[in-house]
Amino acid sequence: MLLFVGLGNPGEQYAGTRHNIGFMAVDAIAKQHRFAPWRRKFQGVATEGNLVGDKVLLLLPGTYMNESGRAVSEAMQFYKIALGDIVVFHDELDLPAAKLRMKLGGGNAGHNGLRSISAHVGNDYRRVRLGIGHPGDKRMGASYVLQNFAKDEWPWVEALCDTVADNAALLVEGKDSTFQNKVHLAMAAKGFGSGTADDS
C-alpha cells in the first residue's frame, strides 16, 4: 500500500489558500479515480482506492499544518507502510506558480508541515512540490501562504491539480521523473509554462 498525503489546514477559512494546494491535489486524485467517500480517520480524513492495481490510501491531516506528522505517523504505523511509499503533496514557495518538482528527502525549506512529518517518521519520503510563487520578500512568506489564491490564479491551480490526478498512476509505479515531465508537458499544452521540466 502507498500513502498519498495532502498538506493543508482544515476548515472553510483555509480552503482556498495557497498553503492548501496539497489538499486540493489529493482531493482531485480522489475524485478523478473514484475513491471511496472521505471518512474521519488518522486525525484527519482518509479514503482508500486502487491505482494501477495497487492499494492507495489518501490522507488529509486535520491536525493543522504544524502537526501533520502526527496523522502521517498514525496511518503509516496502522498499515505498516514503508517510508519510501509515502508521497507528500505540498505548496512550494521556491517554485514559480504552476510548476511542479519531485524530490526525495532533503531539507524542508522552512515548511512546517514537512518538518513535522520528518520529525515523526523520518525524512526519506517522496515529495510533490507544487509551486505557488514567492511574494518577493522572505519576511512575507508566512502571511503569503495563508492568502487565498486570486481569481485569475484559479485556472492554473485547477489545471495543475487535475494534471497531477491524471498522472497519479506514475507515482504508484515509482516513475517520479516521468510523472514530473508528463505534468510539465500537459501544463504547457494547457497554456501554463514552457513544457520543460528544468525551467524555473
Active site residues: 19
In degrees, rounded to 5, the angle at the alpha carbon of residue 107 between the alpha carbons of residues 106 and 111 is 130
How many whole angstroms separate alpha carbon 12 and alpha carbon 114?
22
How many whole angstroms separate alpha carbon 46 and alpha carbon 170?
21
How many whole angstroms separate alpha carbon 37 and alpha carbon 53?
19
CA distances from 95 to 59, 91, 135, 142, 199 (A): 24, 9, 11, 16, 10
Which residue, chain included where needed, has cell 512568506?
Answer: 141
Helix, strand or coil for residue 45?
A: strand
Q: Which three cell numbers, joined as nine digits, stand for 168?
A: 497519479
